[in-house]
Copies of this chain bind each other. A is one copy, B any other.
Amino acid sequence: MATLGGAEMAVTPAGSTFAGLSDARELDPKRIQVFWRHVERYDPGASVRPAAATVRRLVVVSGWAYETRILPDGRRQIFGFALPGDVVELPASSNYGQRALVALTRLEVVDAAVVCRADGPDGKTAQEAVERALQLRSERLFDHMVRIGRLTSKERVLNLLLELHDRLRAVHLVKDGVFRVPVTQEMFADTLGLSIVHINRTLQRLRRDGSIVVRGGAVTIPHPDRLASAACYPATWARAASANQGLA
């Protein structure tokens, strides 16, 4: 049967090397030059290096990552996924045990400070974009809390897939309604606070009733609008996401 995870692939926005920073006005050759030197690359499974004493703000250039914490007894909670164009805040290494950012695919990130510095005299535009992106990330945390706190398993899965769909679409990573989700069912389980077996069965139900279509790690959601209400997915969100695409 079809699976959800599909391992690593070219998880980069269409027609642009600089995911999430691809919009016209940002594409100053000089600026890109600057970025190239500062891009950090990680292989799947590697943790992004935190700063020594400060929180670190990172812009995801390409690839997927996930934020996670692992409990002493091995239980794991995944807080969310970082996609191209997202900005993430890493805790200082001193309390890094609390939360790590792990590459899910091949991953490229740039320090937000670099992006801001590169942007004009006082880097105001980029600075604002970073703030906005962090704000969105924060809102997503609340969404996710609702998911794991108050939604049923079916709603959780759908809701998360809808979010990923919208976010990926905002950075042009959805083609003809199809998007790639390089996440194993085990990770989905740890994200949504469910067991892996239950995730598996829930996905099957969703496929059977036609809510989602999964083919080789790529997902399609035939009727996003119809499902949004069934999954308590705030329609508002879609608006906010397209009106305010973070760094895209």
Binding site for B on A (CB under 8 A): 55, 69, 71-73, 75-77, 79, 89, 91, 95, 97-99, 135, 138-139, 141-142, 144-146, 148-150, 190, 192-193, 229, 232, 234, 236, 240
Contacts and interface: CB of A to CB of B under 8 A. Distances in A.
Nearest to A192: B149
Given A141-B141, A141-B145, A72 B150 contact: no
B75 A150 contact: yes
A213 B37 CA distance: 59
Given A139-B98, A141-B141, A142-B98, A71 B232 contact: yes
Contacts of A95: 236, 240
Dominant SS at the A interface?
A: helix
A97 B236 CA distance: 10
A160 to B, nearest CB: 12
A148 B98 CA distance: 16
Contact of A91 (B99, B139, B148, B150): B139
A69 B146 contact: yes
Contact of A138 (B72, B138, B139): B138
A125 to B, nearest CB: 18
Contact of A193 (B72, B135, B139, B148): B148
A150 B193 contact: yes
A149 B232 contact: no
B146 A145 contact: no
Contacts of A146: 69, 71, 77
A135 B139 CA distance: 15
A193 B146 CA distance: 9
Nearest to A91: B139
A190 B150 CA distance: 8
